Amino acid sequence: SQQGEEDPQALSIQEGENATMNCSYKTSINNLQWYRQNSGRGLVHLILIRSNEREKHSGRLRVTLDTSKKSSSLLITASRAADTASYFCATVRGGNKLTFGTGTQLKVEL
Amino acid sequence: NAGVTQTPKFQVLKTGQSMTLQCAQDMNHNSMYWYRQDPGMGLRLIYYSASEGTTDKGEVPNGYNVSRLNKREFSLRLESAAPSQTSVYFCASRLRDREIAEQYFGPGTRLTVT
């Protein structure tokens, strides 16, 4: 079964706005990762946050992690049309396996 | 570097036919993975190989077999395809097992079983 669930399932915003998507998971984790998938393509890693970290930044991306609530959020600031994609969170409990959420479809309109 | 490559890109099979999906990576990664992605769902792990010579079942292994041919190549075989195996299949690789590291994905194989 899926470990993570993203919310919302779909999000439509205007270029320049910020986009926030959330991920909830069920069990304790070692780290949490966010991936982007453009239509018809493979997934691309965006950012990784360890279980002992609370916030991490990478360019226009900001990720937070609240292990007490078993949730994470991904914020994309000043969105661009090129950010249109599906975004997935993936959790790692230990070892070598990722467990993916169901994804958020983001559409950024001009 | 080509990264992770997959062949074929598209395939249509009849129920009961067999086929092998090929995956190769040129990043000298130790671990390799096979996932399937169905509409409205995230990726589900079929099989993985933590290192050359080892393979393990993931979340949805039934109906599939794998071979880690060498460090570069990891193939997925459907012995008798079923319509429920219609999906997009992704191969991925990772530098080291049991360490914090991201996975690198191939472009996917879109499989339809009629």
Tens place of pLDDT per residue across chain B (114 aa): 789 999 999 999 999 999 999 999 999 999 999 999 998 778 999 999 988 889 999 999 999 999 998 999 999 999 999 999 999 999 999 987 556 778 999 999 999 999
Task: Identify residues of B whose CB sits under 8 angstroms from chain A CBs.
Answer: 4, 31, 33, 35, 40-45, 48, 50, 58-59, 90, 92, 94, 97-98, 100, 102-108
Q: What tokens were used for A22?
A: 């959330």
The H or E element that residue A85 is part of is strand A85-92
* Amino acid identity for residue A60 in this structure: R
Q: What sign for the dihedral angle of Cα B12, B15, B18, B24? A: positive
- Name every chain A residue with its beta carbon within 8 A of the beta carbon of B108: 40-42
How does pLDDT run across A24-45, given as a tens digit for each residue? 999 999 899 999 999 989 999 9
Q: Closest chain A residue to B60 measured between Cα atoms?
A: A1
Neighbours of A86 (CB within 10 A): 21
How does pLDDT run across A38-91, given as a tens digit for each residue? 998 999 999 999 999 999 999 999 999 999 999 999 999 999 999 999 999 999
Q: Hey, of A26, A39, A98, A99, which one would you mutate to test binding to chain B, going by the most B CBs within 10 A of its CB?
A: A98
**A101 part of contact set with chain B, CB < 8 Å:** yes
Are the CB atoms for B18 and B77 separated by under 8 Å? yes
